[in-house]
Amino acid sequence: MQKKGPIGIFDSGYGGLTIFDKIQKRMPEYDYLYLGDNARAPYGTRSFDTVYRFTRQAVIKLFDAGCPLVILACNTASAKALRTIQQKDLPLLDPSRRVLGVIRPTVEKIDSLSKSKHIGILGTAGTISSGSYSIEIAKMFPHIHVVGEACPMWVPLVENNEYNSPGADYFVKKHIEHILSVDPEIDTLVLGCTHYPLLTGKIKKYLPDNVTLFSQGEHVAISLEEYLTRHPEMDERLIKNEECHFLTTESPEKFSETASVFLNRNINVEKVTID
Ligand code: DGL
C-alpha cells in the first residue's frame, strides 16, 4: 500500500495562502503542507526557465515530504511551469502523483460569469506575457474576448503591507482604468494572481457598477473537491487529521507575521532550503 501524505500547496510566497485558506475552509478534514519560496519571490518578473526550475524544485521538495498531490497555488508558476512538470517531469519523478494548477479551474467558471463575453485578466507580467489565460479560454470558450493587464506593482504593495495605503490607490486606479479603456465592453475582471484578493477593497473603488470582480480561491477549492470525488484512489492516499504545516525558504518569523494578515490567525513555520 502507498504511504499516505498531506496535500502540498506551493506558492512563490504568501499569495497562495489566499487559495490555501479557501481550500482548508472547504475541506478542513485533510492535512496540508504549505511551501512558500519567499527567498526567491517574486516570480512574476522572472523568465520562463527560472520559474520552471524553481517550481520543479518546490514540487520535488513537497514530494519528498510525502505529498501525493501538489497544488501550484500561484498563477505565475501555473502559467509557466505546470504543463512541463505534468508532461515531462511527472512520468520520471512519480507517475502516481499529481500536480494541479489554478488557471484551469478559474477558466472553467468564466463563461457563466460574463454576459458581454468580454473578460479582463489582471496578473503578474509573467502570467500575462505567457498568454496562458487567453490560450485556455480560447480552447474552452472560443467566443470569449480576453484582454490581459500586467500589474507589476500590485504584488510588492501586498508583500510590503501597503495594500491599504494611499500609494496603492495610484497603481490600482492606473491599471483598472487602462484595461477598461482597452476594452470598454469588459464586464468581468479576473484576479489572476493570488496576492490580489487583498487589494479587493481598493480595486472595487475604481470599478464601474457593471463590472464584476472574480476571485479564484473559492473555485479552486470547489474544483479540488470535485477532483478528489472523481479520483477516490488519490483521496485514499491523503491524510485526514486536520493538521497544517508551513514551510518557507526565508525567515520563519517574517512568514508567520505576514501570514497572519492573510489568514487572520497565528501559525508555526519551519525554514527549509529547496535548491
Ligand atoms: N503568487 C503569484 C501569482 O499568483 C504572484 C507572486 C509573484 O510574483 O511571485 O502569480
Segment 106-160, tens digit of pLDDT = 999 999 999 999 999 999 999 999 999 999 999 999 999 999 999 999 999 998 8
Considering the domain architecture, whether residues 61 and 44 belong to the same structural domain is answered as yes
pLDDT score at 84: 97
Residue 1 has pLDDT above 80, yes or no: no
Considering the domain architecture, whether residues 65 and 138 belong to the same structural domain is answered as no
List C-alpha distances in Å: 49 to 8, 52, 245: 22, 5, 29
Dihedral sign, Cα of residue 224, residue 85, residue 242, residue 66: positive
User: Smallest Cα–Cα separation from 71: which of 134, 6, 136?
Assistant: 6
pLDDT category, 24, cuts 50, 70, 90? very high
Measure 157 CA to ligand 1 centroid, in angstroms.
12
Domain count, the chain: 2
Q: Which domain holds residue 44?
A: 7-101+218-271
Rounded average pLDDT over 4-30: 97
Q: What are φ and ψ of residue 72, in 5° steps?
A: -80, 95
Considering the domain architecture, whether residues 158 and 205 belong to the same structural domain is answered as yes
User: Does the beta carbon of 252 lie inside 6 Å of ligand 1?
Assistant: no
User: Does the beta carbon of 11 lie inside 6 Å of ligand 1?
Assistant: yes
- Are 149 and 128 a contacting pair, CB within 8 Å? yes
Considering the domain architecture, whether residues 57 and 33 belong to the same structural domain is answered as yes
Considering the domain architecture, whether residues 110 and 97 belong to the same structural domain is answered as no
Query: Is residue 1 one of the residues assigned to a domain?
Result: no
Beginning with the edge strand found earlier in the chain, give each strand of the sheet holding 188-191 in spatial order.
Answer: 145-150, 118-123, 188-191, 212-215
Measure 1 CA to ligand 1 centroid, in angstroms.
36
Residue 57 has pLDDT above 90, yes or no: yes
Cell of 188: 468581468
The CATH number of the domain where 207 resides is what?
3.40.50.1860
Q: What is the pTM of this model?
A: 0.95
Considering the domain architecture, whether residues 223 and 94 belong to the same structural domain is answered as yes
Considering the domain architecture, whether residues 110 and 175 belong to the same structural domain is answered as yes
Query: Is residue 52 one of the residues assigned to a domain?
Result: yes
pLDDT score at 205: 97
pLDDT in tens, 240-256: 999 999 999 999 999 99
Alpha-carbon distance of 160 to 138, in angstroms, equals 35
Rounded average pLDDT over 193-211: 96
User: Does the beta carbon of 128 lie inside 6 Å of ligand 1?
Assistant: no
